[in-house]
Amino acid sequence: MPGEINATARPFDLTMRHLAQGYPKDIVRLCLGQEPQALEVLSPDLTATERRADSLAKVNVSGEIFGLQVEFQTRYAKGKALGTLEYRVRARVLRGLPVLSVVVYLTDEGYPGPGSNVWEEKVLDRTQLVFQFEDVRLWELDASRFLEAGIDGLVPLAVLMCGGDNEETLRRAVEATAKVSDNSRRKDLEAAIAVLGSLKYSEEAIWSLIRREAMKESSMVKELFEEVRKEGFQQGREEGREKGREKGREEGQRTALREHVLKTLSRRFSVVSSGIANALTSEDSQSNLERLVDLAYTAKDIDDFRRGLGA
């Protein structure tokens, strides 16, 4: 039974982004099955687009230089192909490199089977677009092979691989991180195991092997919390601005309705009393104002409108 450490996909996305940035060569090994001769981590942020990849790197494999775009998904999403294509095109134009796009699925949730890594679009029965990306399905990979290889950056992912549905694999992953000499990196890897492991294991299983203090001491977790805090703050500001804009739009609509009522009454009955004008100004109900628009056209005389207005 999956744990309850995280309720949304966001912490998993941030964890995988951290691993991709900290262990870029290991991610290349995972995606391509071979080690690059050269690698340069590039900023995943592209001008003129709000999308960003989880990982973007300039790599040299077998003498071929290209951009490697990697997206991590906790579950299959049909629309992901189009988003991946959108980013790929921007990366190709702005970086000036051919791009290999890879989607790494952390779980098999929603995965429809082979052949789902192709996006094809037809218009009037004409094929206008075919986009095929590579996909890596962790549940089909052998956890033991990666644990025995000692590839530090992929140890946290081993708990989601084939054979990773038992606590023995979880224990072996934790033991593998204990061999990492750098204290900061070791704590970050333990934290990543805890976050990703919660997709498959109970909290009891995870905390029986990993000290909770390791999570608190991990620089990765601190960065994740800070990013979540900043994004939450930014989202709050955006929501506040949007509410302000929405409030402004609504008030504008009410003002337009009031003016429409007054103009209609003036055309039909020539004189509109200040009492009616003041009553309209104080009316804030959109539905009432819409009703008064109809009444302005149908009232027999100004007194009939006044009675309907309640002024």
DSSP of 2-29, one letter per residue? --SS-SSSHHHHHHHHHHHHH-HHHHHH
Written as six digits, the tokens of 47 are 């001008």
**Tokens 């996305």 -> residue:** 13
Looking at residue 204, what is its pLDDT?
83
Per-residue pLDDT averaged across 83-103, rounded? Answer: 89
pLDDT tens digits for 164-199?
A: 667 888 999 989 988 888 888 888 888 888 888 888
> Which range is most confident: 68-82, 207-221, 262-276, 287-301?
68-82
pLDDT of 98 > 90? The answer is yes
CA-based nearest residue to 26, from 163, 209, 176, 132:
176
pLDDT of 14 > 70? The answer is yes
Helices of type H across 198-284 = 203-207, 212-217, 219-269, 274-282
Tell me the one-letter amino acid at 94.
L
